[in-house]
Amino acid sequence: MLALKGKSHIHPEVKVISLPSPSLCNSAPSATGEAVVSKREIDFDLILENVKDLNMLAGEGISQIEHTPQGARLRQQEPLPLTLYQNGIVMFDGPFRSYEEPSTQQCLQDIMDGYFPSELQMRYPDGIPFQV
């Protein structure tokens, strides 16, 4: 599991967005019993800062050897597109995911806590860089 340890989450110019949904105010436990986003504010600066750090841990910009029928070549891992909107996110080229959806809340909470999103850990056990 990729995680940031001992990192202060205080940013000198924190920008937050208040969401109108009362569902983000509840500390409803997830399927694993952990609380999901429990406040009405999402700290986009913290998300962007943690994404940069997680990208370094996932090997952003590092070439890997790829074996081919003719021998081998170097390639860099393609980043996962992540688009943040005022009312939700889009990951990959997938559907729009509202901040009110529990899976979106858990994804963002993982990133704000300094962890690679749990929903992607099976598919990318060593992490994958994000392109925000």
Instruction: Give the integer Cα–Cα distance in Å for 58 and 5.
Output: 15
Instruction: Give the integer Cα–Cα distance in Å for 82 and 84.
Output: 7
Task: Per-residue pLDDT tens, the chain, 132 aa: give them.
Answer: 555 544 444 344 444 444 444 333 333 444 555 545 544 578 999 999 999 999 999 888 877 788 889 988 888 888 999 999 999 999 998 999 999 999 999 999 999 999 999 999 999 998 899 999
State both tokens at 112. Answer: 């704000």
Residue indicated by tokens 């990133």? 111
Q: Give pLDDT, residue 25.
A: 34
Q: Is residue 68 part of a domain?
A: no
Q: Is residue 67 part of a domain?
A: no
Tally of domains within the chain: 1
Q: Is residue 10 part of a domain?
A: no
Q: Is residue 66 part of a domain?
A: no
Q: Is residue 86 part of a domain?
A: yes
Q: Is residue 7 part of a domain?
A: no
Q: Is residue 83 part of a domain?
A: yes
Entry pTM:
0.66
Q: Give pLDDT, residue 80.
A: 95
Residue range of the domain that includes 109: 16-61+73-131
Q: Give pLDDT, residue 58.
A: 87
Are 54 and 2 in contact by the 8 Å Cβ rule? The answer is yes
Q: Give pLDDT, residue 72.
A: 86
Instruction: Give the integer Cα–Cα distance in Å for 6 and 114.
Output: 10
Instruction: Give the integer Cα–Cα distance in Å for 121 and 125.
Output: 5
Q: Give pLDDT, residue 20.
A: 41
